[in-house]
Amino acid sequence: MTRSPAPSGRAAGRGHRRPRRVVAAVLATGLLLAGCGGDDTSMTASDGAVTSLPAPEMGMAEPMPDVAAEDLGRAADVGADRVDDGPAIVRTASIELVVDDGATAIDAVVARTAAFDGEVASTTLSRDEDGTVSGSLVLRVPEERLDAFVDELDGLARSVPFRTVDELDVTLELSDLDAQLENLRAFEAELRALLTEVRERDGTVEGLVAVADRLQQVRTDIDRIEGRRIQLADRVTLSTVYVTVRQARSATPVVGTWDVPAVVRDALAATVRLGQLVVEGVIWFALTVLPALAALAVLVLGVRTLRRRRTTNGTSEPVEPT
């Protein structure tokens, strides 16, 4: 009985190394296809071995503020239609309203928003000491009704210091997001097929972990880009309107009342103060000025008396007999 020679170590390892090389090759190709794929995961193949860095957990997409959950599907569909039909424009309006009654005007703005199938995103109100009400509102209205809505708000005001409508074309950005999603989804399908192949043919933990990590990162990128696209499409569908309401100051002068008791109290207080000043002046005069004057008078009298004596002595000298 003749035994066949045992396969060499190199030949025996080919069956295990081939799937690893396939994994590395597909992952490298996927990185080129998914040009916007995650940059946090890196893989190298050395002698058929595949290594990977940990990727973020699946489903951890970036948050999307200012987008209601029930509007996501509608925004995505409408945004896609806008890209297919024509340019996608994000329109934003700002308007300041000077009104006679701030509270009434704000209620009217909210009512008009509901009538135009819009929604109030946020409201900030303030009331001054004199009862003047002012505030600012952020509104969302359908893009095709924006101009009519702003005209409606204009009619509520006594005057409009400023009114602007800005437009931003996001067609290219939406197209770029669509292209990124298409590449990433194709790469995701390849990774899922590769994961099944590695599990069936090789089954090594090293290969499975490498493919699963990359698949997880691609899924995270898809969720992030989808969220950004939905948010952008929502801004195309619903225009944002920033409204400032300011109540006009009253031109009628305020007439004050005459408080007689207060006037009497003020007069009595002034009289008391005047009496205090007179008494203080007398005290200062008696204690300061009078002693000084008395000392000065004594000094003057002394000088005069001395002079008189000297004059008397000089004129009354005895005369010798002849």
Q: Are the C-beta atoms of 139 and 119 separated by less than 8 Å? A: yes
Q: Name the CATH architecture for the domain at 81-169+241-247.
A: 2-Layer Sandwich (3.30)
Q: Which pLDDT score is estimated for 185? A: 94
Residue ranges in 169-322 assigned as alpha helix (H) = 171-197, 205-237, 260-284, 290-315
If one compares 284 and 150, the residue with the highest pLDDT of the two is: 150
Task: Evaluate if residue 104 carries a pLDDT over 70.
Answer: yes
Q: Which pLDDT score is estimated for 85? A: 64
**What pTM was computed for the model?**
0.52
Q: Which pLDDT score is estimated for 300? A: 86
Delimit the domains of the chain by residue range: 15-63+172-229, 81-169+241-247, 262-293
Task: Evaluate if residue 78 carries a pLDDT over 70.
Answer: no
* Dihedral angle of Cα 32, 37, 42, 45, to the nearest 10 degrees: -30
Query: Which own/partner pairs from 207-213 qualify as long-range (CB within 8 Å, at least 24 positions apart)?
Result: 207/19, 207/20, 207/23, 207/50, 209/52, 210/23, 210/27, 210/43, 210/50, 210/51, 210/52, 211/23, 211/27, 213/41, 213/52, 213/53, 213/54, 213/55
Range with lowest mean pLDDT among 185-199, 242-256, 268-282: 242-256
